[in-house]
Amino acid sequence: MPPFLKPDFIRPVAIGAAIFAALAFLPSLVDSYYMSLAISVVSFAVLATAWSMFSGPTRYISLATVVFFGIGAYTVAVLGEVMAFPLVLLCAGLAGTVVALLVGFSTLRLAGVYFVIFTFGLTELVRQVVSWYEVNVTREMGRYVFLDITQNDIYWQLLALFAVLLLTGFVLGRSRLGFALRIIGEDETVAKHCGIDVTRVKVALFVLSALFMTLTGAIIAPRWTYIDPVIAFNPMLSFQVVIMALLGGPRRLLGPLLGVIPLTLLFEVLTASFPNHFSILLGCVFMVIVYLLPGGVVGLYEKYRAPKKRTLSADTETTRKSGEKTA
């Protein structure tokens, strides 16, 4: 029987489809404020899950999320009024894929802190290049985005993108590529000895992750109305995504969602109540998560669940031996 026809594949997909179908009716149940909040939650859910798709199994901490997000947003700002929106999304996806390929093949041989520093520097490099182009070529800074796309349309598009992302991650986790990624995450040297082309596998996942980030930026762009390099390539977004993924647990498909929901609500409160101290408070949140929840919420759950499993196994073994002695 093909894997996609097995019950353990069909059941979670069917449950997920039912949940997303129910979420599609949310715009008819809430007002504009809660719709805006829902858009923030879903957009961060896509970004954090896409980040975890690559960084979770490989353990490479990427701070380039905003690079691809900004590419998607700026593509809409440039082409939104001259092309149909589906074609704009296609162009954004292609642009993000090309940049991800270039970055992937040139940097994924790096490891550890070197990769982190490069991806952080890449954000500033892209922002400065776009700023230089705007000032010296177009002779203007920033662009207005006037598209006939409502808040509800943005929500539905992001929800559909999130559904596709989760399905992709679910299938990937059961594929040979997903298995190769887990081996790479544990030990790249062992992966190479197993015959895995480490560089190609990492680049493939990096590009796939970047594609979803780019499309998120493209879909969310009409919500802003005005876009400039500082808005589109704000490095704070990359740190927020990393914090959310780490809080939930980047090693599980739905783990990032457990960090996205509470932190999106927290960031909403902090932005409204402490706009001048948001960066400081964000740093405090980051330190608390790193020190108290290094494995995220999912890791904490698995940590406390494991002793119970061992206890049950030991009790079962003791009962079995007692039965053998009695017999």
Q: Which two tokens stand for residue 262?
A: 């509470």
Could you tell me how far CA 191 lies from the centroid of its own chain? 25
Q: Which two tokens stand for residue 179?
A: 């298995």
Predicted confidence band of residue 218 (pLDDT cuts 50, 70, 90): very high
d(CA 79, CA 86): 11
181-186 average pLDDT score:
77
pLDDT at residue 81 greater than cutoff 60: yes
Instruction: Indicate the length of the chain as a whole number.
Output: 327
d(CA 31, CA 14): 29
76-95 average pLDDT score:
91
Please answer whether residues 137 and 80 qualify as being in contact, where contact means their C-beta atoms are separated by less than 8 angstroms. no
Fold category of 3-294 in CATH: ABC transporter involved in vitamin B12 uptake, BtuC (1.10.3470)
Please answer whether residues 145 and 227 qualify as being in contact, where contact means their C-beta atoms are separated by less than 8 angstroms. yes
pLDDT digits (tens, 9 = 90+) for 220-253: 999 888 888 888 898 889 988 998 898 888 878 8
Q: Which two tokens stand for residue 266?
A: 């927290």
Q: pLDDT averaged over the chain?
A: 83
pLDDT at residue 285 greater than cutoff 90: no
Residue 142 burial by CB count (10 A; 0-12/13-18/19+): exposed, middle or buried? middle
pLDDT at residue 291 greater than cutoff 60: yes
Percent of the chain with pLDDT over 90: 29
82-106 average pLDDT score:
91
pLDDT of residue 307: 60
Task: Name the residue ranges covered by the structural domains of the chain.
Answer: 3-294
d(CA 50, CA 253): 10
pLDDT at residue 319 greater than cutoff 60: no
HSE, side-chain direction, 13 A CA sphere, residue 118: 14
pLDDT of residue 133: 86
Q: pTM here? A: 0.87
Indicate the DSSP class of residue 144: E
Predicted confidence band of residue 69 (pLDDT cuts 50, 70, 90): very high
pLDDT of residue 312: 44
